[in-house]
Structures are given as structure tokens and as C-alpha cells.
């Protein structure tokens, strides 16, 4: 689960995804994108760097992506710094 906590108009938002990691193979997920256009996000097993998993902000520019078969990354598509939290539970 994650959120964008940047104090700017339209930035606050939350999202969640359940992610399964298949070591050496890739990531599989299903979850809910951030508001205001919340929708289901899902993906088959992917190891392709840059594959979108879930948006954490209202403008759908700050997201969690696949980085490799075994890692994820937070990608900030904004030209400015954004703050937030990502919580992993296992």
C-alpha cells in the first residue's frame, strides 16, 4: 500500500496492490489505483523494467513499477520532488 503526502493541490491520494513475487521470473499483481479515477490495476507475470504496477498520486504520474524480475521501484514522473509512503507487509 502507498500514498502521496505532498502538500500541493490534488496530490494527496492512496492506493493499494497485492503483489506476488516469483523469484527469477517476475511480478504478478492486482489492486486499486489512486483516486480520483480509481480503477483496478492488474498484471500478469512481468519482469520488464518500467512496467506500471500502481499509481500513488491523483494525477497518475507517481507510480510503483517493476524494476526487474526480483525488484520494484518508485518512479516519479513529475519535474518536482514528491513525498509519500510505501508499506510492504509480508
- Mean pLDDT, the chain cut into blocks of 10 residues (90 residues total): 86 93 96 92 96 94 96 94 90
Give how many domains the chain has, as a whole number: 1
Is residue 71 included in any domain, yes or no? yes
Here the cell at position 23 is 523469484
Is residue 88 included in any domain, yes or no? no
pLDDT at site 7: 82
Here the cell at position 7 is 502538500
Cβ contacts of 88 within 8 Å, gap of 6 or more: none
Is residue 87 included in any domain, yes or no? no
Is residue 27 included in any domain, yes or no? yes
pLDDT at site 5: 92
Residue 50, class by beta-carbon neighbours within 10 Å (0-12 exposed, 13-18 middle, 19+ buried)? exposed
Q: State how far the alpha carbon of 32 is from the alpha carbons of 15, 36, 85, in Å.
A: 6, 11, 16
Domain carrying residue 72: 2-81
Is residue 90 included in any domain, yes or no? no
Amino acid at each position: 500500500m502507498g500514498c502521496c503526502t505532498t502538500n500541493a493541490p490534488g496530490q494527496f491520494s492512496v492506493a493499494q496492490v497485492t503483489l506476488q513475487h516469483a523469484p527469477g521470473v517476475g511480478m504478478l499483481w492486482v489492486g486499486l489505483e489512486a483516486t480520483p479515477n480509481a480503477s483496478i490495476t492488474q498484471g500478469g507475470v512481468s519482469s520488464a523494467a518500467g512496467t506500471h504496477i500502481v499509481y500513488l498520486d491523483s494525477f497518475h504520474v507517481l507510480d510503483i513499477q517493476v524494476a526487474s524480475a526480483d525488484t520494484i521501484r518508485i518512479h516519479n514522473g513529475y519535474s518536482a520532488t514528491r513525498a509519500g509512503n510505501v508499506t510492504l507487509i509480508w
